[in-house]
């Protein structure tokens, strides 16, 4: 069965004024969709087409890996945001962040630094590795599952993620993500399942 573009978990207008409907139209409707279309073309008639997306990602390199990972990364990114998100997590995830980073503020500093300093296209992540939370960054399509880590939350720092709304101001986009968009309920569910 062919891979499909998942619907956004909210309306295209839901993240405005921080992330516009125009950005979501292009980013989800064009970029994310193109990765799905390309992946299906690359796997057409091959045994990998019957595998799960995760199996394809873990077993592939080159163009198949790039497109499969970008399909997964974008679905994870849409879920990493919600209308009226941002702020701080609560409960066990907050306790684990305070345990592993020292404080939520220290986590935030590390996340901002990783997302800001990722050179060129890529992603910044909160991940779980060997029972410990850490901040990482990956280039292009690379993602935590290739490094034995479980993804908890991500921000896309490819220019197509923020250029319509923030132009060249990547740091402002990152601050806005943390202040107004981050979906800590999604992160807490990932952490609980980890
Ligand atoms: Mn993107």
Neighbours of ion ligand 1 (CB under 5 A): 156, 158, 161
User: Is the pLDDT reported for residue 150 higher than 90?
Assistant: yes
For all residues of the chain together, what is the average pLDDT? 97
Please name every residue paired with 9 in a beta bridge, in sequence order, or none if there are none: none
Q: Is residue 4 part of a domain?
A: no
> Ligand 1 centroid vs 107 CA: distance in angstroms?
23
Residue 54 shares a structural domain with residue 135? no
> Ligand 1 centroid vs 74 CA: distance in angstroms?
6
pLDDT value at residue 50:
95
* Of 31, 52, 79, the domain-final residue: 79
Residue 16 CB neighbour total at 10 angstroms: 15
Percent of the chain with pLDDT over 70: 99
| Residue 194 pLDDT grade (very low, low, confident, very high; cuts 50, 70, 90) | confident
- The per-residue pLDDT for range 156-180, each reduced to its tens digit, is 999 999 999 999 999 999 999 999 9
Residue 188 shares a structural domain with residue 95? yes
pLDDT value at residue 154:
98
Residue 54 shares a structural domain with residue 114? no
**DSSP line for 131-186:** TEEEEEEEETT--GGGGT-EEEEEEE-SHHHHHHHHTT-HHHHHHHIIIIIB-HHH
Question: Which residues form the domain of 49?
Answer: 21-79
CA angle (65 as vertex; 184, 170 as ends), nearest 5: 45
Residue 118 shares a structural domain with residue 166? yes
> Ligand 1 centroid vs 4 CA: distance in angstroms?
17
Q: Determine the Cα–Cα distance for residues 135 and 110; give it in Å rounded to an integer.
A: 7
> Ligand 1 centroid vs 27 CA: distance in angstroms?
6
| Residue 1 pLDDT grade (very low, low, confident, very high; cuts 50, 70, 90) | low
Q: Is 130 helix (H, G, I), strand (E, B) or coil?
A: coil
Asked whether 42 and 64 are in contact (CB, 8 A), the reply is yes
> Ligand 1 centroid vs 106 CA: distance in angstroms?
26
Residue 67 shares a structural domain with residue 141? no
Percent of the chain with pLDDT over 90: 99
> Ligand 1 centroid vs 175 CA: distance in angstroms?
18
Asked whether 184 and 90 are in contact (CB, 8 A), the reply is yes
| Residue 189 pLDDT grade (very low, low, confident, very high; cuts 50, 70, 90) | very high
Residue 100 shares a structural domain with residue 164? yes
CATH number of the domain within which 30 lies: 1.10.287.990
Residue 112 shares a structural domain with residue 172? yes
pLDDT value at residue 118:
95
Query: Which pair of tokens denotes residue 149?
Result: 């880590």
Q: Is residue 9 part of a domain?
A: no
How many angstroms separate the Cα of 41 from the Cα of each of 1, 3, 12, 21, 59? 12, 10, 27, 28, 17
pLDDT value at residue 103:
98
- The per-residue pLDDT for range 26-81, each reduced to its tens digit, is 999 999 999 999 999 999 999 999 999 999 999 999 999 999 999 999 999 999 99
Q: Determine the Cα–Cα distance for residues 170 and 24; give it in Å rounded to an integer.
A: 17
Mean per-residue pLDDT for 129-141?
A: 98
Asked whether 159 and 121 are in contact (CB, 8 A), the reply is yes
Residue 97 shares a structural domain with residue 175? yes
CATH number of the domain within which 166 lies: 3.55.40.20
> Ligand 1 centroid vs 102 CA: distance in angstroms?
31
Residue 117 shares a structural domain with residue 184? yes
> Ligand 1 centroid vs 88 CA: distance in angstroms?
24
Q: Determine the Cα–Cα distance for residues 95 and 98; give it in Å rounded to an integer.
A: 5
Residue 112 shares a structural domain with residue 31? no
- How many domains does the structure of the chain reveal? 2
**DSSP line for 16-56:** TTTS-HHHHHHIIIIIIHHHHHHHHHHHTTSGGGGS-HHHH
Write the DSSP symbol of residue 180: I
Q: Is residue 180 part of a domain?
A: yes
């Amino acid at each position: 069965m062919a891979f499909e573009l998942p619907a956004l978990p909210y309306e295209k207008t839901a993240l405005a004024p921080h992330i516009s409907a125009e950005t979501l139209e292009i980013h989800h409707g064009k970029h994310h969709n193109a990765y799905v279309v390309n992946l299906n073309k690359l796997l057409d008639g091959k045994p990998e087409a019957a595998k799960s997306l995760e199996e394809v990602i873990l077993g592939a390199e080159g163009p198949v890996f790039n497109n499969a990972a970008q399909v997964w990364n974008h679905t994870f990114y849409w879920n990493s945001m919600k209308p009226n998100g941002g702020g701080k997590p609560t409960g066990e995830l907050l306790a684990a962040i305070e345990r592993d980073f020292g404080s939520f503020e220290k986590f935030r500093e590390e996340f901002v630094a990783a997302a800001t300093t990722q050179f060129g296209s890529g992603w910044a992540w909160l991940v779980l590795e060997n029972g410990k939370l850490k901040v990482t960054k990956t280039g292009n399509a690379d993602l935590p599952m290739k490094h034995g880590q479980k993804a908890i939350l991500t921000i896309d720092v490819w220019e197509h993620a923020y250029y319509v709304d923030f132009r060249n101001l990547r740091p402002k986009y990152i601050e806005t993500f943390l202040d107004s968009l981050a979906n800590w309920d999604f992160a807490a569910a990932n952490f609980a399942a980890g």
